[in-house]
Chain A
Amino acid sequence: MSDRNIPIIAPQKRGFFTMARSQKELLLLSIPFIVYFFIFSYYPLWGLTMAFQTFRPHLSFWEQEWVGLTHFKNLFSDKYFTQALYNTIMMSLINLVLHFVTAITFALFLNELRLRFFKRFVQTISYMPHFLSWIIVCGLMANMLSMDDGIINNLLMWFGIIDKPIHWLGTPGYFWGIVGVSNVWKSMGWNSIIYLAAMTAIDPALYEAAAIDGCGRFGRMWNITLPSIKPTIVILLILNAGWILNAGFEVQYLLGNSGLVMDVSETLDIFVLRRGFGSRSVIGYSYGTAAGMFKTVVSLVVITICNFAAKWVGEERLV
């Protein structure tokens, strides 16, 4: 009757079908997910063939004209593509750094709060913006940064820091900063939740021991809290690093759609959209697909590297 009496069966002795039969309930349960992933994740991969064709949507697959790597050649000789790639990577890095620094710092401070009600209150308020859509956030941003009665310019002028309004959204030098700040405003509270959760799992005895050993508040944060949530930080870093080529789409598209800042605002996603779905009555599915495919392949490589890096530093791995 006890657990020890269950015999251990060596798996290699059982054939595939024997095993399949004995686990048929599990297999049945997995079918919907297999179907789901096949339809929504694997079947669309077929569309990548467009990158090697001159794709015309009304022709069948067999009637398409195959052009080999022509679209990729055009892509790599397109200076706006390289520019978009650079913009994407830089904005991603900015977002990644700001994400970690702000979310972890915020979580650390929130964790130290004694007043439970106040803590909950701050936490709720801070993650609210996460539920706003980008179009609203960008509208708010555009209003606040406006030269024409925008609150930022008004404040700066009121304090006498500047004597005429700054054209925030039309100056390339400010654009990445604006994207970074928008991201922080929108997602800092939300991102900190997972760190706060990790912090609740820390054994309080550790803090007591540290306090007895004469460790101050900041000392405990540095020596106990941070090392304890290190696995979470590393896992999230890996997860996020894989998205290095996704610097976002909406914020750059909605705030950076003018010729003045296009050179710094165009990300790969916007490039794919502009080239793929044309800015003016024309569509280039193939070219857009080629650019999108490049992005996918690079993302796959990056996430694989990050995964190995995680193993190398001895932390948990994703795959």
Chain B
Amino acid sequence: MKRTRIIALLLACSMLIAVLAACAGGDDDTATPTPGTSPGATTLPPGGDIIPTDDFADAWAGYLQNYDEIADEISALEQWIYEGIQAEVNSGAYATAGTTDWGNTPINAVGTSHLPDSTDEPITFTVFTAGSGQAPARNNPVMLELARITGVTLEWEFTPGDIDQKVGVLIAGGEYADLIAPGQHRGEFLNAGAFANLDGLIQDYDRLWKHFGLYETRLRNATTDNSIRLLDIWGRRYTLGDGLDSLYEADYNGPGFYIQKDVLAWDNYSFPTTLDQFFDLLARYYAAHPTIDGQPTLPFEIFSTDWRSFSLKNPPQHLIGGRNEGDVVVNPDTLAVEIYQNKDYAMRYYARLNQAYHDGLINPETFTRNHDQFMSVIAQGRVLSVFSQQWAFGEGEQVLIGDNRMERTYVPLGLTFDRDEPYPYNRQTHAGIQGGNGGGISVSCSDVERALKFFDQLLMPEIQILLNWGILDKDFYVDENGTFRRTPEQKALHDDPDWRRDNLGYTVNESFVKLEGRLPDGNAVGPGNSPEERIGNMYDYDREFYSNYRLPNGENFTQRADFLPQFEHPGYSEVWSLLSTMDSEAAERLTFDKITDIQNRYLPGVIMS
């Protein structure tokens, strides 16, 4: 019986400990301030002279401590990236960065009805897409027409849910779909040897090689064995050199401080360029509009879970003029590389966020929202501003457009610490093909040459018109000047994501090689970069809104990109390419993971200190 008592005593003790542990920590939590308590904080210190509070200073010091612990590893990582850039610069990649004119490529007729049926054996390729999404309907007329011309039918597989895990399991199994659109996971697939080597084959396909040949070095640099495996989707812009090319750029969807149009309009169409003006404007607007449609206004959101934490950690590099080179800033003169989230300018930014938090401009729930909740608050139209990339919240914004609430959609601001002019952020010209950012043919593919032939056919101007504009006279028409246009009804259909998926070829163009810019006859490759469409089919609200802003040449703004100036230098996007294709077992990778982990863990606490 004595033993039983001892056991009972032990059990009781463990229960007591557990219960105490459950309660521990509950005592020292301080009640968190919530929005609405001090919305009228309009007197902000001028010129960015933020005096961090003691609490903030302590939190920041604790955050820096984590970097000090791995200081050696960080310098090794910086050195590794520096060498990567050096190699890239020495390889002459920058000399070839640029656009390409069409030369004498003729375009016979608009539409695809004149193209003959494929004479090849019909084939079905399976496609794995590492992203959420849905396959186009089987009776998608554009995809059927594509199948008629190329003989290729595509079977799509998308990845709802945990992509990391799905990709990991796929790679461990080593069995792949015929074609892979790896998205953010290109590095894993590449390092696992999932992509077939196209070197020696791709050179035989005229259109493909004309498209990629100029960037051969970059394609090769994306692999570890100097081969060609990934074919980039973006970066190749076609021009005519008639002085109008710049009009045919797609709108900006990169990083920026995105703010609702209504906030700027309410402030007499102001144009904030500094962080302080920005938060000052948010505070004033919030004081005047504590709720939107009866729900509490959320002045500034930072959605930061998982890989989307760029909203949390990327702003400091842009505030000093950097260009989204990944998790480092590159000095353009010396090519010196440094991680920036532990530097003084980063502290200045987070101290400002800390102040904004105490002013009630940042709702603490922003850090605990999941992606669906974030999309829903965006779609409710009550988020005044975010730092993000447009594509990362575009799904929510699309709902606002569908509800015709254009005043709640966003424009990007290129904020600075204390300049009168905005920075360009990531708006730059002529980046060229970056290397590695695309899709490929897997080693399990039954017929690699046939897949290459299919890619080659995708680059035909007629096919690109088909995929982007749809079927002639059904989805678009040609006006008396020979310009591709859509009626307002056709445009409304194109803007509906479900219709678009089931009636156009965007699913293909978002995964594999494509043309960008202009076609040989001067038309835009897709409606998204057609100036006639942009201006001719602009929403009334937008026309009114943009007419209050002027470009340096005196013309009105026509798109959100106009809020940012343009860089002439293409930047060092290969840093991002290096980081996203690095060997999964490299020591640098572990360091990189650790840094990411530190930021995701500590920055929310620093902001709320």
How many of B's residues come within 8 Å of A, CB to CB? 70
Residue pair A180, B193 in contact (C-beta under 8 Å): no
How many of A's residues come within 8 Å of B, CB to CB? 58
CB within 8 Å for A260 and B604 given contacts A58-B194, A170-B32, A173-B27: yes
Closest to B183 in A: A281
Q: Which of B3-19 contact A (CB under 8 A)?
A: 3-4, 7, 14-15, 17-19
Residue pair A97, B584 in contact (C-beta under 8 Å): no
Q: How far is the CA of A205 from the CA of B24 in the complex (A)?
A: 46
Q: How far is the CA of A167 from the CA of B34 in the complex (A)?
A: 9
Residues on B with beta carbons closer than 8 Å to the beta carbon of A287: 590
CB within 8 Å for A94 and B589 given contacts A57-B174, A283-B584: no
Tell me the smallest distance from the CB of A137 to a CB of chain B, in Å. Answer: 14
Task: Identify the stretch in A3-11, A113-121, A212-220, A272-280 within 8 Å (CB) of chain B at 4 or more residues.
Answer: A272-280
Q: How far is the CA of A176 from the CA of B168 in the complex (A)?
A: 30
Say if the beta carbon of A292 comes within 8 Å of chain B: no
Residue of A58, A93, A169 touching B368 (CB-CB under 8 A) = A169
CB within 8 Å for A262 and B601 given contacts A96-B18, A282-B187, A286-B585: yes
Task: Identify the stretch in B79-87, B227-235, B252-260, B304-312 within 8 Å (CB) of chain A at 4 or more residues.
Answer: B304-312
Q: How far is the CA of A284 from the CA of B592 in the complex (A)?
A: 12
Tell me the smallest distance from the CB of A122 to a CB of chain B, in Å. Answer: 26
Residue of A167, A173, A282 touching B364 (CB-CB under 8 A) = A167
Say if the beta carbon of A174 comes within 8 Å of chain B: yes
With A167-B365, A264-B25 known, 17 other A-B pairs at CB within 8 A are A56-B191, A94-B21, A169-B368, A170-B32, A171-B29, A173-B29, A257-B306, A259-B603, A273-B164, A277-B164, A278-B593, A281-B187, A282-B582, A283-B188, A284-B585, A284-B590, A314-B4
Residue pair A282, B592 in contact (C-beta under 8 Å): yes
Residues on B with beta carbons closer than 8 Å to the beta carbon of A176: 21-22
Residue pair A282, B192 in contact (C-beta under 8 Å): no
Residue of A80, A93, A279, A314 touching B596 (CB-CB under 8 A) = A279
Say if the beta carbon of B109 comes within 8 Å of chain A: no
Residue pair A283, B18 in contact (C-beta under 8 Å): no
Q: How far is the CA of A6 from the CA of B304 in the complex (A)?
A: 75
Residue pair B172, A285 in contact (C-beta under 8 Å): yes
Residue pair A281, B188 in contact (C-beta under 8 Å): yes
Closest to B327 in A: A280
CB within 8 Å for A165 and B193 given contacts A93-B17, A276-B168: no
Q: Which of B144-191 contact A (CB under 8 A)?
A: 164-165, 167-168, 171-172, 174, 184-188, 191
Tell me the smallest distance from the CB of B21 to a CB of chain A, in Å. Answer: 5
Say if the beta carbon of A68 comes within 8 Å of chain B: no
Residue pair A284, B584 in contact (C-beta under 8 Å): yes
Tell me the smallest distance from the CB of B158 to a CB of chain A, in Å. Answer: 18
CB within 8 Å for A147 and B34 given contacts A57-B192, A97-B15, A313-B4: yes
Instruction: List 19 interface pairs A-B (beta carbons < 8 Å), by A numbering.
Output: A58-B191, A58-B194, A94-B19, A142-B373, A148-B295, A177-B26, A257-B306, A259-B304, A259-B312, A259-B600, A260-B364, A260-B604, A273-B164, A277-B165, A278-B164, A281-B187, A282-B582, A284-B585, A286-B585
